Amino acid sequence: MSDFVLITGGARSGKSRFAELLAAHPGLPVIYIATAQVYDEEMALRVKKHQDQRPSHWDLVEEPLALSSVLERHAQDKAVLLVDCVTLWLTNLLLANYPAEDDLPEQEYTRALHRIEQEILEQVRTIAHIAQDITPQVIMVTNEVGDGIVPDNPLSRVYRDLAGRANQILGQGAQQVYSVVAGYPTEIKATGQALLDSLRREDS
């Protein structure tokens, strides 16, 4: 069974750097699974920064959509699989499937977005199960995108909600969940689970 770790935090919180340190710690081969797609110069610079900060001897797999296939392909490897990041993967899936708003009446558009969200969450459940069951340690980096203001359009609101729900699914499946703030990680699952368990006992 894999040691599945989820690392979350805000933009530029230090979560990727912590994930890379954690991945290197066991001394096993590391397979870096990049989900980013480069569409403009800004994203190209972000990708270059990540490339420069991680060890050059790590294997690299670039996969924007078929994350479950990559995990399954390396299911027996004695290695660490580092996925960076989940929220870019969700973005790719959403943009690959969402309908153009002008093509549908408002109610149908909203229903279509809801259907797509459910289909993507099913893929999230799949990768959570795979990450629990395979041989390598799996480390996934994600983002907390729902801490700001409510987005002003339906697609952005669906993405915000999708990311939050996906993080909950992955957090439930992970053995450890870290939150990184200002460069410092805190393990949050053990204490959070203990609190939830105590509240449920009191309520029963």
Max alpha carbon distance in the chain (Å)? 55
- Which tens digit of pLDDT belongs to each residue from 82-128? 999 999 999 999 999 887 766 678 778 888 888 999 999 999 999 99
Contact predicate 54/32, CB 8 Å: yes
Over the chain, what is the mean pLDDT? 91
Q: How many other CB atoms are there within 10 angstroms of residue 25's CB atom?
A: 10
pLDDT at 148 > cutoff 80: no
Q: How many other CB atoms are there within 10 angstroms of residue 111's CB atom?
A: 12
- pTM metric for this prediction: 0.91
> Which pLDDT does position 151 carry in this prediction?
87
For the chain, the distance separating the N- and C-terminal CA atoms, rounded to the nearest angstrom, is 32
> Which pLDDT does position 203 carry in this prediction?
76
Q: How many other CB atoms are there within 10 angstroms of residue 65's CB atom?
A: 15
The binding site comprises 9-16, 34-36, 62, 84
Check residues 92 and 203 and name the one with the higher pLDDT.
92
Please, what are the domains in the chain? 4-203 (3.40.50.300)
Looking at 25, 50, 57, 114, which residue is catalytic?
Answer: 50
Q: Is 25 a known active-site residue? A: no
